[in-house]
Amino acid sequence: MSNLNPVRARLLGRLTALAALTVACAFAGTANAATGEENYAKICAACHSIGGGKLVGPDLAGVTTRRTEEWLVKFIKSPKAMIDAGDATAIALFKEFNLVMPDPQYTEAEIKDIVAYLATKSGAAAVAPTPPPPPKEASPAEIARGQNLFQGLERLKNNGPACNSCHHVKNDAVIGGGVLAKDLTAVFTRLGTPGINAILGTPPFPVMAAAYAEHPLADDETAAIVGFLQDADRKQELQKPADYGMKLVTYGAGGLVPLFALYSLVWRKRKVGPVNAKVFDRQVKGGDDIAQ
Ligand code: HEC
Ligand code: HEC
């Protein structure tokens, strides 16, 4: 190599790299595991681990050995479509996890890249999933702060929207929230600390992701909100959310009567007749005089 001039050496280097890339591509089909890994981290890692146990969705270690590539690509593209089409595996998974994985809005090529990446990690199946450590209990102060953050009484540091602009939680102390997204009263039982943390870290739902893309939550805020959701979940049976329906009408009508009584008492010296009653009376009397 030492007798090559630098330009030639560089050219040779590039050609070698190109050849290596071609060979690598030929091995992996056209899929690119590196792009797959990037895209996986963006969305999928919020709900899945590879060899770390269940999060919101199943552990994906070894998934490329338990399912065919064709099934995986179709399933990941639209889990809901697979369930609707009656695919037995998709239905069984849905029954087990009780949540339909959202369509990730990736193209088929991007999904193939992700599957290629999952295939490179299939060895992870050998690793026994370590159960996540038991979640630390939030202190009452943290729970109270989480509640304030949830309903926007305390502003989020990065100015993200309050959770209750889209979500509701059944809790006496909380003003009714939005109905755009799911009621979060029992979400803790279903997703636990790791699941909620994952969702708040990288929201996998387009609407929520858009809301927090520029305004991420701080770790201490996430911890406080998770603490509040755990507390709300635990206490939900004790809550008696106010039923405003007929009560509001009845109490309203009932309240009017004493209110009117009070008005007439306080204002009893008010003029009863029209302002010009006296003038009118005089005129009428005058009229009578003329008539007589
Ligand atoms: C909001 C959480 C969530 C996100 C985000 C998510 N998944 Fe899922 N995933 C689930 C759930 C829950 C299931 C169980 C099946 C069901 O109920 O739809 C599942 C199932 C799967 C399965 C089937 C596993 C098996 O054992 O056969 C694969 C594969 C999968 N997801 C891959 C992905 C990939 C790849 C992404 C990113 C593009 C992703 N998931 C994003 C929640 C999620
Ligand atoms: C702009 C609206 C919006 C805001 C604000 C928002 N979310 Fe969401 N969130 C959603 C949508 C949409 C979903 C998707 C599931 C659904 O349709 O309910 C979701 C899903 C979730 C889920 C998963 C629910 C489940 O049962 O699978 C959790 C947990 C969650 N949000 C927590 C929060 C918390 C905590 C906050 C406040 C820091 C928050 N969200 C703020 C729109 C929002």
CA 27 to centroid of ligand 2, rounded, Å: 41
Nearest ligand, CA 229: 2
Q: Cα angle vertex 217, ends 54, 146, to 5°? A: 85
Q: What is the CATH number of domain 31-126?
A: 1.10.760.10
pLDDT at 157: 94
Ligand 1 pocket mutation, candidates 47, 63, 89, 117, criterion most atoms within 8 A of CB: 47
Has residue 257 got a pLDDT over 50?
yes
CA nearest to 133, candidates 191, 188, 193, 190? 193
Nearest CA to ligand 1 atom 24: 58
**Amino acid (1-letter code) at residue 109:** A
Domain ranges of the chain: 1-29, 31-126, 140-238, 254-286
CA 56 to centroid of ligand 1, rounded, Å: 8
Residue % of the chain over a pLDDT of 70: 78
Has residue 65 got a pLDDT over 70?
yes
Nearest CA to ligand 1 atom 40: 44
What residues flank ligand 1, with Cβ below 6 Å? 43-44, 46-48, 56-58, 60, 63, 67, 72, 75-76, 79, 93-94, 97, 99-102, 104, 106, 114, 204
Nearest CA to ligand 1 atom 23: 58
What's the predicted TM-score (pTM) here?
0.59
Phi first, then psi: what are they for 93, rounded to 5°?
A: -65, -40
Higher pLDDT, 86 or 134: 86
**Neighbour count for residue 262 (Cβ, 10 Å):** 10
Ligand 2 pocket mutation, candidates 80, 94, 166, 174, criterion most atoms within 8 A of CB: 166
Domains 31-126 and 140-238 share a fold: yes
At 201-245, the pLDDT tens digits run 888 888 888 999 999 999 999 999 999 999 998 887 776 555 555
What residues flank ligand 2, with Cβ below 6 Å? 99, 161, 163, 165-167, 180-182, 184, 187, 191, 196, 199-200, 205, 207-208, 211, 217, 225
Nearest ligand, CA 215: 2
Summarize the confidence of residues 275-291 as an average pLDDT. 68
CA 112 to centroid of ligand 2, rounded, Å: 28
* Domain 140-238 architecture: Orthogonal Bundle (1.10)
Ligand 2 pocket mutation, candidates 150, 151, 155, 167, criterion most atoms within 8 A of CB: 167
Q: How many CA atoms lie within 13 A of 57 on its CB side?
A: 22
Q: How many CA atoms lie within 13 A of 38 on its CB side?
A: 4
Has residue 100 got a pLDDT over 80?
yes
CA 136 to centroid of ligand 2, rounded, Å: 22
Has residue 130 got a pLDDT over 60?
no
User: Both tokens of residue 60?
Assistant: 């994906």
CA 144 to centroid of ligand 2, rounded, Å: 20
Summarize the confidence of residues 64-71 as an average pLDDT. 94
